[in-house]
Amino acid sequence: MSASFTFEPPQFRTIVEPFRIRSVEPIHFTTPAERIAALEAAGHNPFLLRAEQVLIDLLTDSGTGAMSSRQWAGMIASDESYAGAASFYRFEAAVKDITGLKHVIPTHQGRAAEHILFAASLKPGMVVPSNTHFDTTRANVEVQGGEALDLVIAEGRQPQTIHPFKGNIDLDRLRETIETLGVEQIPFVMLTVTNNSGGGQPVSMANIRAASELAHSYGLPLILDACRFAENAWFIHEREEGYADKQPIEIAREMFSYADGCTMSAKKDGMANIGGFLALNDDDLALQCRNLEILTEGFPTYGGMAGYDLEAVAQGLYEALEPDYLRYRIRSIAYLGEKLTAAGIPIVQPTGGHALYIDARSMLPHIPVTQYPAWALNNALYVVGGVRGVEIGSIMFGMQPDGSEKPAAMELVRLAFPRRVYTQSHVDYLAEVAIAVYEQRERVPGYKIVWQAPTLRHFTVRMAPVG
């Protein structure tokens, strides 16, 4: 049989979602009046809304993804033994295969890995340099009496500046920091890939390698906060010379080869709803961490996870590295970015791996930073369209350890995409909502704090509109 006709294969522009949907979950439509009432009852804090009151939930990409049929199959076949479960060994093998790290310590999520690592290696007064610490990382450093120091390159703090690797650490400042403080004051150097608080921006392989060489030249280990390692690998594949022909898994392996350890939230690029791990090469440190783990997480072959969670992660780590998936994921966010940019909405450029970040300070110049423009914008997106993002600005980062207030480097609203959950029509709708708010931006009010907790205040703060 021959083909019925011959044709030029077209270059299709649409990036098709690389899955079909076999199980669905309804989402809930509300009226503007219902949303205004809901937000008021939640103290004007979207964290305190019920998820059912949200139409498109972009609060976080953490633990909110859809699992694959293969992950579910693994979960059904899990081993729930307390000690030495087969599910643990599958999990451990997957982590070792991708990271090459020697000791794999499972934890129930990323911050548990951070807590154990910092408890084992930080003394009060020590400083942990990083490109940018995420909020839980920073809080876990501070709770041990340490200082979390952000040394991202200058471009990483300029929302509108285009740079392929805005998550890079400033190597000169890193060297200066080590020289000034002395190695005794620094337990290790960290790199967050991708740089979540700085716009989901990637770190280049060259920068990871150089940071590793620099740290090692002072005898300091390099630890990756690897939550979004697969997305970082994709950006290296797309943007860094010499990597276009490499598979994401090979790139990931190279990234980890420069590190002496990592903390991981498997709720991101582990494609699971819960889980995480700490992986380390140092035998003594690993021993200490395992002992701490038993106190808070559980026996070292389950570490706060069920056997089925270990299975979901073991499979998910590989699925996160599939090129078709990564192409669709990164493209979805870039697509939204193009629509918003065309409408004049200022966003962090270029768009990041897991999220799009709107630059609220530029979009709402009538709201002073003391009235939290990113908080205000996020609430407006909810009221107008039932969309929930998250403020990454002065409510999240403005409170200093001594209780004083200092504006954050940027006032951003992060729209984080759950993995494999939303389709192109959801994204089209999102663009409409953002544009509708933009067209009436002068009407968006600033906010003031009514009540706040002493740490990580954004989760529970109660706010009120000003005026």
DSSP-derived 3-state class of residue 412: strand
Question: Please, what is the minimum distance in Å from the beta carbon of residue 7 to ligand F0G?
Answer: 45
Question: Please, what is the minimum distance in Å from the beta carbon of residue 378 to ligand F0G?
Answer: 13
Does 137 contact ligand F0G by CB under 6 A? yes
Q: For the residues of 169-186, what is the DSSP string, one character each?
A: B-HHHHHHHHHHH-GGG-
Does 132 contact ligand F0G by CB under 6 A? no
Does 140 contact ligand F0G by CB under 6 A? no
For ligand F0G, which is the closer residue by CB, 111 or 329? 111
Span of 132-140, 176-184, 242-250, 357-365 interacting with ligand F0G by CB under 6 A: 132-140
Q: State CA 201 to chain mean position distance.
A: 10
* Of residues 43-62, those binding ligand F0G (CB under 6 A): 60, 62
For ligand F0G, which is the closer residue by CB, 193 or 220? 193
Span of 72-80, 108-116, 199-207, 376-384 interacting with ligand F0G by CB under 6 A: 108-116
Does 166 contact ligand F0G by CB under 6 A? no
Among 136, 140, 371, 394, binds ligand F0G (CB under 6 A): 136
For ligand F0G, which is the closer residue by CB, 60 or 394? 60
Beta bridge partners of 190: 223
Please return the burial class of 124, using the count of CB atoms within 10 Å of its CB with bins 0-12, 13-18 and 19+: exposed
How many CB atoms neighbour CB 176 within 10 A? Answer: 12
Question: Please, what is the minimum distance in Å from the beta carbon of residue 233 to ligand F0G?
Answer: 15
Which contiguous run of DSSP H or E holds residue 209?
Answer: helix 205-217
Interface size with ligand F0G, residues (CB under 6 A): 15
DSSP-derived 3-state class of residue 391: strand
> Per-residue string for binding with ligand F0G, 257-276, x by CB under 6 A?
--------x-x--------x
Q: Which residues lie near ligand F0G (CB under 6 A)?
A: 60, 62, 109-111, 134, 136-137, 192, 196, 225, 227, 265, 267, 276
